[in-house]
Each structure stands twice: as structure tokens, then as C-alpha cells.
Amino acid sequence: MWMAPICLVSEAAELAARRHAGMARKGRGDEPYVNHLAEVANLLATVTGGRDADLVAVGWLHDTIEDTATTQEELADKFNPHVASLVAEVTDDMRLPKSTRRQLQIVDAPGKSPGAKLVKIADKISNIRARIHSDPSQEEREDLADYVEWAEKVVAGCRGGNATLDRLFDDTVKLARSSL
């Protein structure tokens, strides 16, 4: 089913907001989770000059299979098979232990499609930003340091698809390290 680009992005934002309603963002107190999805989608829109509606829609939807009862088939029916497959490609298997999921992200990153790599980098930028606090506790510092170290390993396998996004990631890591 073909959808006009602005409609595709708008429909993705609405579905993501509805499916994540009531969820709070980890790392930013009670901030609504949808803010993370908006940030990832906006990063992708910005670094691609708004030329890839499918990718921006995936930014909105990237956590729907992982965090909600949404299925890849549902996304394919509502949007298109490309959007659904990209969302599935960036989805972790939540049945696995966290340490296994993290290791799989590092190992699998180089084999991801170009679009999935961009989503992964944008997601890591947003997650690092959420962990940066002006007066962090020791626990927050340790969480940030651990997350940055792991994110750098994942992103190492994703680089090269968009120089602006790569630079934004590096700038975000520098900011995080300066807050430790």
C-alpha cells in the first residue's frame, strides 16, 4: 500500500504514540517515552534532509515490536513491507537476557542494512542524551559510562552511512564524557 510521505510519517507517529501511551522514558524521570521516538525520528529526518519518509517512519516505530504487542505483519499491512522489515531488523529479542541482547547488537551491527544502521546510531544518540544530567549521582555516572562504552561498540559497526549522523554521535559521546 503506497502512502504519501507526509501521511506515512504522520501515521507512524500516531501509531507509535498510541502504542507507547503511558510509558515513561528511562533516564529522564517521568518524560513520556514518545519523546524518545520523536527524537530518533527527528534525527533521521534532519540528517537525511527529509528525503526518506520510510526511514523517518521507522524512527517513530523502531521500538513498537520490542515494547508493545505490535507485529511485523501489522506494520507491513498498515505501512509497507520495507518499513516493517526495518523495524524488525532493529528489534531486540526481549526473551534473551540483557547481556546477550547487548552482545548481539555489537556482533550483528556490521551486517545490518544501511537504513537499520542509521536507526541504530540515532537510537544510541537519543539514549545517551537521556542519560546526561547536570548533577549526576554516582549510579547515573556509572550507567552513562557503561552505556556509552557499549554504544560505541555497536556504532562502530554502523558507521559510514551518514557523516552528519556519525559526527552527531561523536559529539554526543564527547558531551557525555565531559559530564562524567
Neighbours of 130 (CB within 10 A): 19
Q: What is the mean pLDDT of residues 41-63?
A: 98
Q: How many angstroms separate the CA atoms of 21 and 2, rounded?
A: 27
Catalytically annotated residue among 66, 74, 140, 143: 66
Catalytic status, residue 67: yes
The DSSP element (H or E) to which 69 belongs, if any, is none
Count of domains for the chain: 1
Under the banding of pLDDT at 50, 70 and 90, the label for residue 135 is confident
User: What digits encode the pLDDT tens for the residues 11-46?
Assistant: 999 999 999 999 998 766 678 999 999 999 999 999
Given this model, what pLDDT does residue 1 score? 65
pLDDT digits (tens, 9 = 90+) for 73-129: 999 999 999 999 999 999 999 999 999 999 999 999 999 999 999 999 999 999 999
What residues make up the domain containing 9? 5-178
Q: Which one from 11, 52, 67, 152 is the annotated catalytic residue?
A: 67
What distance in Å separates the CA atoms of residue 138 and residue 142, rounded to the nearest whole number? 6
Where residue 150 sits, what CATH number does that domain have?
1.10.3210.10
pLDDT tens-digit series, residues 77-87: 999 999 999 99
